[in-house]
């Protein structure tokens, strides 16, 4: 589909297409991954996200067309920033080895293994991609999902934000092995302390991270005058050793669960009748990473 914006000689032909290569919107700076529908400006050889196209096109558009542009441009790409970080680290390592060993660099790369600090990004990205695909399948049940959202003023991001009738769910995807468990210490003579353990390792810091993200989302909704919308924090383990019966639990108001159980929580009846204002507010507050 092609369109022309502007008047006379200043007119710019825009072709809406699926990008073969990643790019950056020339208006808002949003990252556009390969496969994303966006506008290609032939005169300047630049790309533009559909939301910016919709806002700059002087022709009237139907509400449904604007909604489609909004959904496409701002849903985000699950695991996008983690995947880019992995590729950046891998490329930097390859360039360093090839500079140091011009003749044997290729052999060294073929026989050697990437450091764990690099592969961890690929593993994390894959976890977000897998969970993101499962969450996207819930759109038929009225669930709207924002993937890989940037926290303004920070290098951190939120893996997934799901909006449904039960409220807003801030979701952190993890591909840890081992069995997640709630360990409680104290309670009578000593203060009660809850810890998240996965296998034999204390992972309570993950709960603390979700608390920070929930607080930011809560503040964004309050600023958008949506204080009545509940916000839930969730740690979703994709490859953990869950028992056949039971297994999921709540620690410090954060649900610890797996994808199927999470889906049940998202599609359950809830108090939020209109999710569109919530989705739009969070899309603006947390842009794609």
Distance of alpha carbon 43 from alpha carbon 26, whole angstroms: 13
Strand partners, 16: 39
Is the entire prediction scored with pTM above 0.75?
no
**8-state DSSP, 73:** H
Distance of alpha carbon 51 from alpha carbon 59, whole angstroms: 14
Residue for token digits 């139907």? 62
Residues in the chain: 289
Which domains are present in the chain? Answer: 2-74 (no CATH), 130-285 (3.40.1350)
Distance of alpha carbon 173 from alpha carbon 125, whole angstroms: 9
Q: Is 253 helix (H, G, I), strand (E, B) or coil?
A: coil
Tokens of 92: 């930097």
Dump pLDDT digits (tens) for 259-289.
Answer: 999 999 999 999 999 999 999 999 999 998 8
Q: Over its length of 289 residues, how does the chain's per-residue pLDDT go in tens digits?
A: 444 444 433 345 778 887 877 888 787 777 788 777 888 887 777 888 777 776 554 444 443 443 444 444 468 888 888 888 888 898 899 899 999 998 888 888 888 888 888 888 888 888 899 999 999 999 989 999 999 999 988 888 999 999 999 999 999 999 998 999 999 988 778 888 999 999 989 999 999 999 999 999 999 999 999 999 999 999 999 989 998 888 899 999 999 999 999 999 999 999 999 999 999 999 999 998 8
Q: Which residues contact 45 (CB under 8 A, 6 or more apart)?
A: none
Please list the alpha-helical segments (H only) found in 49-115.
Answer: 50-56, 63-74, 80-100, 105-111
**8-state DSSP, 244:** S
Distance of alpha carbon 107 from alpha carbon 89, whole angstroms: 19
Distance of alpha carbon 242 from alpha carbon 119, whole angstroms: 24
């Amino acid at each position: 589909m092609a369109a022309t914006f502007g008047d006379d000689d200043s007119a710019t032909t825009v072709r809406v297409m699926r990008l073969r290569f990643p790019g950056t919107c020339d208006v808002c700076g949003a990252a556009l991954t390969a496969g994303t529908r966006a506008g290609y400006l032939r005169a300047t050889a630049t790309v533009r996200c559909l939301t910016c196209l919709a806002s700059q096109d002087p022709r009237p558009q139907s509400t449904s067309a604007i909604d489609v542009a909004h959904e496409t441009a701002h849903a985000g790409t699950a695991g996008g920033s983690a995947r880019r970080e992995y590729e950046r680290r891998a490329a930097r390592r390859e360039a360093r080895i090839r500079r140091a060993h011009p003749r044997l660099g290729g052999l060294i790369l073929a026989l050697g293994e990437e450091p764990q600090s690099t592969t961890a990004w690929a593993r994390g990205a894959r976890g977000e991609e897998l969970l993101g695909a499962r969450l996207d399948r819930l759109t038929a049940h009225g669930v709207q999902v924002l993937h890989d959202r940037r926290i303004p003023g920070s290098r951190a991001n939120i893996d997934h934000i799901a909006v449904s009738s039960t409220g807003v769910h801030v979701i952190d995807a993890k591909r840890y092995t081992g069995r997640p468990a709630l360990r409680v210490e104290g309670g009578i003579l000593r203060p009660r302390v809850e810890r998240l353990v996965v296998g034999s390792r204390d992972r309570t810091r993950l709960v603390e991270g979700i608390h920070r993200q929930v607080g930011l989302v809560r503040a964004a909704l309050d600023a958008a005058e949506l204080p009545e919308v509940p916000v839930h924090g969730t740690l979703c383990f994709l490859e953990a050793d869950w028992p056949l019966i039971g297994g999921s639990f709540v620690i410090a108001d954060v649900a610890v669960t797996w994808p199927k159980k999470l889906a049940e929580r998202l599609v359950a009846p809830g108090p939020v009748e209109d999710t569109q204002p919530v989705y739009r507010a969070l899309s603006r507050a947390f842009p794609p990473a």
